[in-house]
Structure 1
Amino acid sequence: MTAATTATTTATTVAVRSAGRRQLAGTGVLLRFALRRDRVLIPVWVAVNTLMVLSMPNTLGSLYGTAAQRADLLHQMAANSSLRALVGPVFDDSLGALTAWRVGVYAGALAAVTSLLVVVRHTRDEEESGRQELVASGMVGRRAPLTAALLAAAVANALLALLVTAGLAGQGTAGALAFGLGLAGVGMVFATMAAIVAQLTESARLARGLTAAVLGAAFVLRAAGDSATDDGSSVATWLSPLGWLENLRSFAGERWWVLLLFAAAVLVQGAAAYALAGRRDVGMSFLPTRPGPAAGRPATAGALAWRLQRGGVLGWSVGFLLAGIVYGGLTEGAADLVGDNDKAREIFERMGGHSAITDAFLASMTGMLGLIAALYVVGSVLRLHGEETSGRAEPVLAGAVGRLRWAAGHLSVAFGGSALIMLFAGLGFAIGYGKRTGPILGACLVQLPAVWVVGGLALLLYGLAPRFAPAAWGVAGAVLLIGWVGPALDAPRFVLDLSPFGHLPKLPGGPMAWAPVLTLTGLAVVLVAGGLAGLRRRDITS
């Protein structure tokens, strides 16, 4: 090789490295800014996920304290395809393996949701609001925002993996490490998936919806595969990242090579996201937005809110209908699964009321869907905050539309939509169970006052202190944690009463108590009124 060739090669290498550094300029600053903005979101959701996982060993130890009880559980799961579709197959009877079985799918799904929210928030949300264009005018590389968003998601998942590994180390260090890395792997797979979708779409709402739809498809694939086989070997299971998590077999002869699937998916999807990010302008997308009609029509604030949120309402309705069908189909087998296990019966009774095991199961499942509906109402109410901070609310309010009319449009979708999705859940239970349609519908609808209280708190935060409005997600996470973990840990009554759901009557099976229902409804009205009063008096972000 001649000296000239060597010099040319060296110069090319230096130029490539320099260009790469320019592409990532400002990443550290943007990462610190992202973590500062998510100083509530990430710790709360990581804490909820971690506590859900770490509460399981003691709970399962009290439920299945003998080797005979655990062997019977494995036999029942092998024979019950519906339960395998719900929570996956069991690979070992140790407490660690049972913990990975019982919460693995749901902890992985929660890690995925947290990751996709973080990535979309710091990529497409920033571009949609116009802030990214302002940032890009400084000394910030083209790929720095995407890198900072992925690193923020990586921090959240690394924290989750560390806490889960440390908390479960007593059940076996290798299994705890595998399970923690598996949860982080699922989170990063959907973080990079969200990064790709954020390049393809022009709307943050659509990016979140499409990535969530991929997560839903992954859950369905895993459920279909697990219902067909009892060892996780189905092709459908292997097509889902949630299936990879269960096939990692934490605490049951770990398959460390499965972690390579997570690594490969993250690298391939990350590379695709970086390639797409380098080939489009800020604010643009690869999937063009469909143009509106040539001539506009008069519209109300409510019609605008419905158009903006109708996709979310439809998606939640379909999801709750399917969940109701699945849970309803499991109702007949609930008594067989509990059998003579007094501890399991006690937990169902604490969640669903002191009634027959079938009624207690129905009450506990409708209660769980009510807790999840609280997440919907918070997201829908906080759409007001998103419209304001993005600047889209200002031109609407500059016309003849007042603040209260504008807010009322979104609130009607939030509170009315929560009633609609719980109604679909009741219809799903009626389809899956095939009996007692009226009582089951009542059990679903009685959750609404508690759901509305959570929505009212979100509106109060937005109306009085919009800067702290995202803290409503922390409220929803705390309510979910109390409702999910509290009964299993036999938490004191005052802890359960911190959640509005702890005051609701346990239907079906229990007596209908109108006093707490009316009290919670009145509290929701007061919170909404306080939030609207605060919104009316404060300045709108411009």
Structure 2
Amino acid sequence: MNGMNGMTGTLTLVRLALRRDRVLVPVWIVVIAGLITVSASAIAELYPQAGQRIALGVTIGAAPALQALTGPVFDATSIGGLTAWRATTIAAVLAALMSTLVVTRHTRAEEETGRAELVGSCAVGRQAVPGAAVLVAAAANVLIALLVTVGLAGQGLPVAGALAFGAAVGGTGWVFTGVAIVAAQLTTHARTANALACAVLGVAFLLRALGDAAKVEALAWSSPLGWAQRVRAFAGERWWVVALLAVTALALVAAAALLARRRDLGAGLLPSRPGLPEARPYLAGPLALAWRLQRGGLLGWAIGFAVAGVLFGALAHSMGDIVGDNPQLAALLAQLGGTDALTDAFLTAELSMLGLVAGGYAVQATLRLRDEELALRAGPVLATAVTRRRWSLSHLGVALGGSALILSVGGLAAGLAHGLRIGEPAAQAARMLGAALVQAPAAWTLAAIAMLLFGLLPRLTALAWAALLAFALLAQLGELLQLDDWVMNLSPFAHVPQTLSQPVDAGPLLGLGVVTAALLAAGITGFQRRDLQEG
């Protein structure tokens, strides 16, 4: 032990982390790299002529509203340039999420459950646990970069551009590896660390979106996601931006190492607020307890939806800018309903995205049941007169009601922002509220999937997140990849009516309700019949 340093045992812990994540991390890597590779193949098939690609870049690709989502088009003449425009942001966001979840899982979650203390009682240095987590996340991002390079170069695209594309996505993952390890030093709970890192990711997305939409380069450069775009893969690569991503990641990891020395194992630098000596009277029930446990997270989601709604609503009016001086496009839009139809199409697409994100909240809130179970807090509650059914329904009530609430907030914010620009705030707020709420049944279906897994296959609850990712990819890339209708219909979001452009058909919503109810019933029944801490 005398010769032990802070990193002793790191490689052993790396092997342990790789064994625990032997399925999850490879899936992330393949999905992210495959998304970019398949996007390039689809663009090559749909836009084989340079003239077609240029037309796309100078019309739809130049719209401020779309640039807020995808970033600017730096080279519309090449397949690689359009692929970078279409896929860089979504791939970088996925790499950031993967890095955040991996780091938090192997650092703060290990401390919260007490496993880090057990490991630390062996011949393991103080920095070995976070060091192993950082190495695993960094290696995963390196593999993503390599697979992207091979996949794009294998399609005949320039090797330099393919390498820059991979480095931009992997470099963003490195930065958020650093963000996550810093967040793990600040907070006491893994959920809070994840929420903090995801909040940083959300702010980074908004800064980049505002910067690109408003053509304010300073805003775009204030975000790591903006840096990923400005590597300019296939458009005169800027390798020094890749170095900027790497240096930032190293600086964040170094800062986390310094912060770790200033706290005790299991504690965070941000102090936890002490509770009251006696519980409030309104907490005398499982639903009130579930609300108390989840209200902070719900507030954060609601704020995020409000900000996103304002952004989308403010940008919607700019969709008319894509017509510009293009008479052919103006004539086509006139036949389809004018720029109002294009604006409604944009708002529908953005509300669909909010619906997917609300599905993420529904999954997170539902899987709080598993967190409480593994933390041994469920047992004392269920030892009272509270039944498993009541306890499950309490958290499900927060998940279902909370997802509807945040969708309402996002819809109202978008409607007010758009309405103020066109002089119809009340009417647009009502329209957008209804259009947002029809997304709720699809989000509830994801909560039901999470409940089914919790009740029947508790070890596989991560598959609920995999389902969300699969539905998101179908929504974003299904049409681009020209997938069959039966594949697209696997997603509950494919059955949500487009309320801004056509009358509401209640049939699909009722169908989603029946499926949701059946899945919830099966999950609750399964939980009633299995042992606690099973798996």
Instruction: State the TM-score, normalized to the length of structure 1.
Output: 0.87
Answer yes or no: is the 8 Å Cα contact 2:497–2:504 preserved in 1: yes
Aligned amino acid, residue 235 of structure 1:
A
Residue equivalent to 1:88:
71
Shift of 1:249: 1.1
Q: 2:242 aligns with which of 236, 243, 259?
A: 259
Residue equivalent to 2:192:
206
Which whole-Å CA distance do the structure 1 matches of 2:317 and 2:30 have between them?
A: 34
Residue equivalent to 2:203:
217
Shift of 1:448: 1.7
Equivalenced residues, count: 513
Q: 2:523 aligns with which of 531, 534, 541?
A: 531
Residue equivalent to 2:173:
187
Answer yes or no: is the 8 Å Cα contact 2:63–2:321 preserved in 1: no
**Where in structure 2 are there 5+ consecutive unaligned residues?**
none
Q: 1:131 aligns with which of 106, 111, 115?
A: 115
Distance 1:466-1:80 versus aligned 2 partners, 3 A rule: closer
| Alignment deviations for residues 203-244 of structure 1 (CA, whole Å, 9 cap, x no partner) | 2122112212222222233234334537xxx33333321122
Which whole-Å CA distance do the structure 1 matches of 2:57 and 2:461 have between them?
A: 45
What secondary structure is seen at the aligned counterpart in 1 of 2:151?
Answer: helix
What secondary structure is seen at the aligned counterpart in 2 of 1:171?
Answer: coil
Answer yes or no: is the 8 Å Cα contact 2:262–2:269 preserved in 1: no
More displaced stretch, 436-445 vs 123-132: 436-445
Distance 1:220-1:132 versus aligned 2 partners, 3 A rule: same
Shift of 1:311: 2.3
- Equivalences for residues 419-458 of structure 1 within 5 A: 419-434=404-419, 436-458=428-450
- Equivalences for residues 101-140 of structure 1 within 5 A: 101-140=85-124
Distance 1:238-1:78 versus aligned 2 partners, 3 A rule: same
Which whole-Å CA distance do the structure 2 matches of 1:419 and 1:279 have between them?
A: 41
Distance 1:328-1:69 versus aligned 2 partners, 3 A rule: farther
Residue equivalent to 1:196:
182
Q: 1:28 aligns with which of 11, 17, 27?
A: 11
Residue equivalent to 2:274:
291
Q: 2:162 aligns with which of 160, 176, 180?
A: 176
Answer yes or no: is the 8 Å Cα contact 1:178–1:250 preserved in 2: yes
Which whole-Å CA distance do the structure 2 matches of 1:335 and 1:492 have between them?
A: 31
Instruction: State the TM-score, normalized to the length of structure 2.
Output: 0.88
Which whole-Å CA distance do the structure 2 matches of 1:172 and 1:85 have between them?
A: 27
Residue equivalent to 1:386:
371
Aligned amino acid, residue 419 of structure 1:
A
- Equivalences for residues 224-243 of structure 1 within 5 A: 224-229=210-215, 234-243=217-226
What secondary structure is seen at the aligned counterpart in 1 of 2:4?
Answer: helix
| Alignment deviations for residues 73-108 of structure 1 (CA, whole Å, 9 cap, x no partner) | 555589754444333222222221222122222321
What secondary structure is seen at the aligned counterpart in 2 of 1:55?
Answer: helix
Which whole-Å CA distance do the structure 2 matches of 1:79 and 1:125 have between them?
A: 43
- Does residue 318 (structure 1) correspond to residue 303 (structure 2)? The answer is yes
More displaced stretch, 59-68 vs 133-142: 59-68
Distance 1:410-1:340 versus aligned 2 partners, 3 A rule: farther
Which whole-Å CA distance do the structure 1 matches of 2:468 and 2:65 have between them?
A: 29
Which whole-Å CA distance do the structure 2 matches of 1:341 and 1:130 have between them?
A: 65
Which whole-Å CA distance do the structure 2 matches of 1:258 and 1:245 have between them?
A: 8
Which whole-Å CA distance do the structure 1 matches of 2:349 and 2:33 have between them?
A: 22
| Alignment deviations for residues 284-313 of structure 1 (CA, whole Å, 9 cap, x no partner) | 222211111243323122222222222221
Paired-residue identity, %: 49
Shift of 1:400: 3.4
Which whole-Å CA distance do the structure 1 matches of 2:43 and 2:311 have between them?
A: 23
Which whole-Å CA distance do the structure 2 matches of 1:329 and 1:235 have between them?
A: 20
Shift of 1:361: 3.2
Distance 1:480-1:140 versus aligned 2 partners, 3 A rule: same
Which whole-Å CA distance do the structure 2 matches of 1:236 and 1:356 have between them?
A: 30
- Equivalences for residues 13-92 of structure 1 within 5 A: 18-20=3-5, 23-61=6-44, 66-75=49-58, 80-92=63-75
Which whole-Å CA distance do the structure 1 matches of 2:482 and 2:272 have between them?
A: 51
- Does residue 482 (structure 1) correspond to residue 466 (structure 2)? The answer is no
Which whole-Å CA distance do the structure 1 matches of 2:456 and 2:415 have between them?
A: 41
| Alignment deviations for residues 270-294 of structure 1 (CA, whole Å, 9 cap, x no partner) | 1222233344332122221111124
Answer yes or no: is the 8 Å Cα contact 1:383–1:410 preserved in 2: yes
Structure number with greater CO (CA < 8 Å, separation at least 6) is 1
What secondary structure is seen at the aligned counterpart in 1 of 2:504?
Answer: coil
CA-based RMSD of the aligned residues comes to 2.8
More displaced stretch, 59-68 vs 132-141: 59-68
Shift of 1:195: 0.7
Which whole-Å CA distance do the structure 1 matches of 2:203 and 2:444 have between them?
A: 29
Answer yes or no: is the 8 Å Cα contact 1:52–1:484 preserved in 2: no
Answer yes or no: is the 8 Å Cα contact 1:130–1:390 preserved in 2: no
